[in-house]
Structure 1
Amino acid sequence: MTAAHRVDVIVIGGGIVGLATAWKIQQRRPGVSVAVLEKEPGVAQHQTGHNSGVIHSGIYYEPGSLKATLCKRGAQETKDFATAHGIPFRTTGKLLVATDETEHGRMLALHERALVNGLDVRLVDAAELRRAEPHIRGLGAIEVSTTGIIDYARVCETLAALVVAAGGEVVTGTTVTDVHEAATEVVVDTEAGIWRAERLVACAGLQADRIAAMAGIDVDVRIIPFRGEYYSLPPYRADLVARLIYPIPDPALPFLGVHLSPTIDGGITVGPNAVLGFSREDYRKGAVKVRDVLDYARYPGMWRVARANVRTGIHEMKNSLFKRGYLAECQKYCPELQLSDLLPREAGIRAQAVRRDGTLVHDFLLERTPRSIHVLNAPSPAATSALPIGQTLAEGLLP
Structure 2
Amino acid sequence: MRYAVIGGGIVGLATAHELRRVHPGAAVTVVEKEAGWGAHQTGHNSGVIHAGVYYAPGSLKAELCRAGRRSMLDFCAEHDIPFQVCGKLIVATDEAELPRLHALHERARANDLEVRLITPEEAREYEPEVACVAALHVAATGIVNFGTVCARLAELLEKSGADMRTGERVIGIRSATADGPVTVQTTRGELQADVLINCAGLHADRIARMAGVHPPARIVPFRGEYYELRPERRGLVRGLIYPVPDPQFPFLGVHLTKMIDGSVHAGPNAVLALAREGYGWSRIRPGDLLDAATYSGLWRLGRRHWRYGASEVGRSLSKRRFAASLARLVPAIGPDDLVKAEAGVRAQAIRPDGSLVDDFLIARQGRQVHVLNAPSPAATSSLEIAKHIVAGLPA
Higher mean C-alpha deviation, range 260-269 or range 130-139: 130-139
The reply on whether 1:128 has 2:122 as its aligned counterpart is yes
The 8 Å contact of residues 26 and 32 in structure 1, kept in 2 or not, is answered as yes
- TM-score normalised to the size of structure 2? 0.98
Q: How does 1:163-202 map to 2 (within 5 A)?
A: 163-183=157-177, 184-202=180-198
Give the 5 Å matches for 1:325-344: 325-344=321-340
Aligned partner of 2:315 in structure 1 is 319
| d(CA) in 2 for partners of 1:116, 1:189 | 46
Aligned twin of 1:91: 85
- 2: distance between equivalents of 1:398 and 1:319? 48
Gaps of 5+ in 2: none
State the shift of 1:190 in Å: 0.4
Cα deviation 1:142-165 (Å, max 9, x = unaligned): 000010000000100100111111
Question: SS at the partner of 1:46?
Answer: coil
Aligned partner of 1:274 among 266, 270, 275 = 270
String of CA shifts for 1:100-156, please: whole Å, max 9, x gaps. 122111000000000000001001111111222111010011000010000000100
Larger mean Cα displacement after TM superposition, 126-135 or 301-310 = 126-135
Structure 1 vs Structure 2: percent identity of aligned residues?
A: 51
Q: What is aligned with 1:3?
A: none
Match of 1:138 in 2: 132
Render the CA deviation track for 1:207-239: whole Å, top value 9, x for unaligned: 011001101111221110000000011111222
**Contact 2:254–2:269 under 8 Å retained in 1:** yes
Query: Aligned to 2:194, what secondary structure does the other structure show?
Result: strand
Give the distance between the partners of 2:352 and 2:82, measured in 1 at CA.
42
Partner of 1:60: 54
Partner in structure 2 of residue 4 of structure 1: none
CA RMSD, 1 decimal: 1.0
1:80 lines up with 2:66 in the alignment:
no
Partner of 1:288: 284
Query: SS of the residue aligned with 1:239?
Result: helix
**Does the 8 Å contact 2:273/2:281 carry over to 1?**
no
Q: 1:182, CA displacement in angstroms? A: 2.8
Which whole-Å CA distance do the structure 1 matches of 2:327 and 2:112 have between them? 32
Q: Which residue identity lines up with residue 386 of structure 1 in the other structure?
A: S
Distance 1:208 1:288 in 2: 20
Distance in 2 of aligned mates of 1:398 and 1:332: 52
**Comparing 22-31 with 35-44, which one deviates more in the overlay?**
22-31
Contact kept? 2:16, 2:157, Cα under 8 Å: yes
Deviation of the 1:395 alpha carbon: 0.9
Return 281-290 or 111-120, whichever deviates more: 281-290
CA contact (8 A) 2:220 2:348 kept: yes
CA distance in 1, matches of 2:14, 2:125: 40
User: What CA distance in whole angstroms lies between the structure 2 residues aligned with 1:137 and 1:80?
Assistant: 34
Q: Which runs of 4+ in 1 moved over 3 A?
A: none
1:283 offset after TM fit, Å? Answer: 1.4
2:364 alignment partner, one of 361, 364, 368: 368
Give the Cα separation in 1 of the matches to 2:200 and 2:390: 16
1:204 lines up with 2:200 in the alignment: yes
SS state at 2:392 partner: helix
Q: 2: distance between equivalents of 1:347 and 1:127?
A: 34
Looking at structure 1, the residues matched to 88 and 282 of structure 2 have their Cα atoms a distance apart, in angstroms, of 32
One-letter amino acid of the structure 2 residue matched with residue 189 of structure 1: Q
Deviates more, 1:64-73 or 1:274-283: 274-283
